Structure 1
Amino acid sequence: MAKITPTTKKLLLGKEIAHLRERAGMSQAQAAAIVEKSQSRMADLEAGQSSITPGDLILLLKGFGVADEDHVQALLELRRNNHQRGRWNGVRAKYSEQFRTMVDLEENCDLIRTVESEVPPGLLQCESFVRALYSHGNFGDDLEEHVKARLVRQEIFHKPDPPHVAFVISESSLRRQFGPPEVMREQINYMIKLSRLPNVRLQVLPFKTRVQSGWIGDRFVLLRIPSPGVAGPLEFAYTENEAELRYLDDKKVVDKLDAVWARLTGVALGFEETRRFLRKVAGDYS
């Protein structure tokens, strides 16, 4: 059976269950026995790939020794409608099945950090740039819907209690022409505008800045999603290439990319320097 696309709520609930099980000193098989399920079903639940009934969740939490009623209610609320399949309609239906996890994570994050080397990050792209980027795709009559789907992701900047969103981008993502000069100029000015939002930080890494090999070669996104439980936030690294999208929650991988992020922000231009640099590049497209 094919694995389903996990939602943020399922991932959070799965992490919380895994944390409570480990704290109780139980194996997955022992935990599964509490609700008369298989070990593989418990593994899928902890990975966000399976659902659990309210009754089974209460039994499981009792078996783990969870006595705090507020904690129990928080996890029951996390379980409620956590499949969220019905909202993938309209322009949202244009996201690929794999990328829907990314969109769901973005909408629930409190911190998003992006490193990009060759193209302006999707969350910073203006409409004319997206259209130019997609112009050579096989979208047919769906082109406008795909453009809207890309742009609707930026609603997270303006929602109540928005996430903190930070970017480090290479100068090559400003110089690489994906559209005519007027589109590139509009795109850069759009990034300047977004960089002035209180929850957005943008830094550019110029060509002349000396960095160690491997710091800027790969694009990645670090995502942090707060948890209503006691297991701590979900932390993911998202990577993408022509062949695949990957969501990595291995702590060693996330920590390694976090260290790369720290080094890049240390050598990239400051926020005001970045805006001056962007204005200069925009002028070059005049």
Structure 2
Amino acid sequence: MKLPPVAGTPTGRRFQLAALLKHLREERVMTQETVGRLLWPGARAVQNKLTRLENGDSAINQRDLSRLLEIYQVLDPITVALAMRLCDGTSQRGRWRGYRASYEKELWPYIDLEEDAEQIRMVGTEQLPGLLQCESYVRAEFGMTAPAGTVDAAAEAVRARQAKLLRPGRPAEIYAVLSESCLRRVRGNDEVMHEQLEYLLELSYRPNLTLQVAPFRSPSGTSAAGLLERFILLRLSAPGVISDFQQHLDFVFTRVGGRLTSGEDVHAYEDLWRGATSAGLDPERTRRFLREVSRGYRYLSKEPHYADRT
């Protein structure tokens, strides 16, 4: 019996299980209130408990999960095994050590989902997304206000994330649209910015990463409405969910308040994403633009660089 692949992190598995359980309930055409009273007879606010479970906001133990699958009359052994596997190993205890300890607890769900995502779409304004920052840029960014030890930890954390997500063979497709402001706002000094531009050029040649820059003056005159806010869209697989309405799980992470949300909030950001990509140069013109900006910083660098590519 071969199960479909599941998320590698507790957060990802919790959301995948939530989607599967919601799908099974809807297949049985049962309300949350009805299911909640069957699963937790005598308990209060049973609909709220099931809502939290189906939103991925709470976990479920295996005993209650077995009972829930009985209520849904799930007889397929693969679906049962999949649900049990998603339920297992959801504890976060002991995971947030090493480079992970650099992140605030509020960011843990995002860091996990980023690792599990099959698609990552980023919009950057003023500041480059962390996944695209070179080490000197990270150090310049944090070094303005943070102690040296914190800067070292931040640089290590970024390197570790990049090693996971940008490594060869990584299945995730990564898309990034950057406002020209990301390239013009100097972090550290011109030498740091030169190195950062070179790094972006190097990344732009990776097969699983598509990079666009939206210049201040768009050649096509397209509105850059999608570049008014920094945000990241994450897409995960939804194993076991076979539906015309939900083939995957979508989340949006916004830097305003550090919020990670799903559901209706995603739709508005999908519109912003379309606006951002429309305003951005295509990948080859983006590389030419990056080379042009890089030449402005070049005199401080003596290393071979991607700006010389033709």
Q: TM-score, normalised by structure 2?
A: 0.84
**Residue 169 (structure 1) aligned to one of 173, 178, 194:** 178
Change (3 A) 1:84 1:160: farther
User: Which residue among 255, 258, 262 is the counterpart of 1:245?
Assistant: 258
Q: 2:159 aligns with which of 151, 154, 170?
A: 151
Corresponding residue number in structure 1 for 2:22: 18
The alpha-carbon deviation at position 131 of structure 1 amounts to 0.3
- In the TM superposition, residue 226 of structure 1 has moved relative to its aligned partner by 0.4
2:66 pairs, out of 54, 58, 82, with 58
The AA in structure 1 aligned to 2:149 is D
The aligned residue for residue 192 of structure 1 is 201
Which is worse superposed, 145-154 or 210-219?
A: 210-219
- For residue 144 of structure 2, the aligned residue among 124, 133, 136 is 136
Q: Which of these two proteins has the greater Rg computed from alpha carbons?
A: 2
Give 1:123's aligned residue.
Answer: 131
Is 2:265 aligned against 1:259?
no
Give distance in 2, aligned partners of 1:14 and 1:184. Answer: 43
TM-score normalised by length of structure 1 = 0.91
Asked whether the 8 Å contact 1:120–1:173 carries over to 2, the reply is yes
For 2:20 and 2:198, the matched residues in 1 are separated by: 43
Q: Single out whichever of 137-146 and 77-86 deviates more from structure 2.
A: 137-146
SS of residue matched to 1:85:
coil
Deviations 1:233-269 (A, max 9, x none): 110111112xx11122123x32232233223323311
Unpaired stretches in structure 2, ≥5 consecutive residues: 1-9, 299-310
SS in 2 for 1:7: helix
Deviations 1:117-167 (A, max 9, x none): 111111100001000000022345332112211221112121644200000
* Equivalent in the alignment of 1:106: 114
Identity of aligned residues (%): 37
Q: Distance in 2 between matches of 1:16 and 1:73?
A: 12
Residue aligned with 1:82, SS: coil
Amino acid in structure 1 at the alignment position of 2:271: A
Residues 122/195 of structure 1: CA separation in 2 closer, same or farther (3 Å cut): same
Gap runs ≥5 in structure 1: 1-5
Amino acid at match of 1:190: Y
Contact 2:32 2:51 (C-alpha < 8 Å) held by counterparts: yes
- Range that drifts further, 38-47 or 200-209: 38-47
Separation of aligned partners in 2, 1:161 and 1:229: 23
Structure 1 residues 161, 125: closer, same or farther in 2, change over 3 A? closer
State yes or no: 1:284 paired with 2:288: no
**Quick one: distance in 1 between partners of 2:57 and 2:169?**
29
SS in 1 for 2:226: coil
Which whole-Å CA distance do the structure 1 matches of 2:131 and 2:224 have between them?
26
